[in-house]
Amino acid sequence: MASRFGNSNSIWRQPLAVVGIIIILFWVFAAIFAPLISPYDPLSQDSDKFLMPGSLHWMGTDELNRDIFSRVIYGARISLPYSILLVVLSAFLGSIIGGISGYFGGRVDAIIMRLTDMFFAFPAIVLAMAVAAALGPEIRNAVIAITIVSWPVYARLVRGLILNAKQNDYVTASSLLGSSSLRTLVVDLRPNLAGPVFVLASLEVGNALLLLSGLSFLGLGAQPPAAEWGSMVSMGAVNFDRWWVGLFPGLAILSAVLAFNFIGDALRDALDPRTAKALRD
């Protein structure tokens, strides 16, 4: 993969990327060691509620008197893995579809591209809401719903890259030597594709997290009593002037998405210009 990046040193020269990596590492650490670093059990309820942030509860408590700081820490256990899962699924699905389209070309390509256009035109969140509502609000179904609307961007990328690569000599040479088309697709093209797809995925993780927490905010994603950042913000919406209930989970989302975007940006800038352009379009 190093050869696909124009200058593999430059990612480390970007301070923003370093900041992003630190933030993500913090959340990963928080997710893994949540039981150790949370002062309270995120599900334990009590009688007094809506305590303001103070020395006992650094971020205050919510309507069932659960400690918000603990719930924010535990929230990383839901938001991070599920966003990454979402991106992996979409990238996988999109790459396969785009791969088929690019490799076989002709009518197959035309049909698949029209399909991709259709999905692009579709208001993603409307479809995601409908699917999540009907399948039953659960974080797993939210992931399915969002995957259904997220694969097109990967399909387009992979198709474009394959079309570019097709013009390269080594592909022609490979098929002249008698490799089956599948083998060519997988073995020879994969190194060319893996890099850009990975970078696109890293750019998309932030969006995935936003969409996922958005659906949870609407009540169509993670369910109580799970500590998930989006649904915590919706409780904050109901209790406006208890500002701490919604503020901290939202900041958590912002920090994670920002970090992913820092990293994704740096990765893309480190690529060679041609692939970077393919990613931008």
Kindly tell me which of 118 and 187 has the beta carbon lying closer to another protein. Answer: 118
Kindly tell me which of 111 and 187 has the beta carbon lying closer to another protein. Answer: 111
Q: Which helix (H) or strand (E) holds 278?
A: helix 273-280
Kindly tell me which of 69 and 265 has the beta carbon lying closer to another protein. Answer: 265
The rounded distance, in Å, linking the Cα atoms of 265 and 276 is 10
Closest contact distance (angstroms) between CB of 185 and another protein is 27
Closest contact distance (angstroms) between CB of 117 and another protein is 6
Kindly tell me which of 98 and 137 has the beta carbon lying closer to another protein. Answer: 137
Q: What is the DSSP string of 19-49?
A: HHHHHHHHHHHHHHTHHHH-SS-TT---SS-
The rounded distance, in Å, linking the Cα atoms of 247 and 242 is 9
Closest contact distance (angstroms) between CB of 167 and another protein is 17
Closest contact distance (angstroms) between CB of 85 and another protein is 19
Closest contact distance (angstroms) between CB of 253 and another protein is 5
User: What residues make contact with another protein under the rule CB under 8 A?
Assistant: 16, 43-45, 47, 49-50, 63-64, 114-115, 117-127, 129-131, 133-137, 148, 206, 210, 213-214, 217-220, 223-225, 230, 233-234, 236-241, 243, 246-247, 250, 253-254, 257-258, 261-262, 265, 277, 280
Structure tokens at 163: 């079309």
In a 3-state reduction of DSSP, which class is residue 273? Answer: helix
Burial category of 91 from C-beta neighbours within 10 Å (exposed 0-12, middle 13-18, buried 19 and up)? buried
Task: Give Cβ neighbours of residue 92 (< 8 Å, ≥ 6 apart).
Answer: none
Kindly tell me which of 189 and 257 has the beta carbon lying closer to another protein. Answer: 257
Kindly tell me which of 184 and 231 has the beta carbon lying closer to another protein. Answer: 231
Burial 8-44 (b: 16+ CB within 10 A, else e): eeebeebeebeebbebbeebeebbeebeeebebebee
Closest contact distance (angstroms) between CB of 190 and another protein is 28
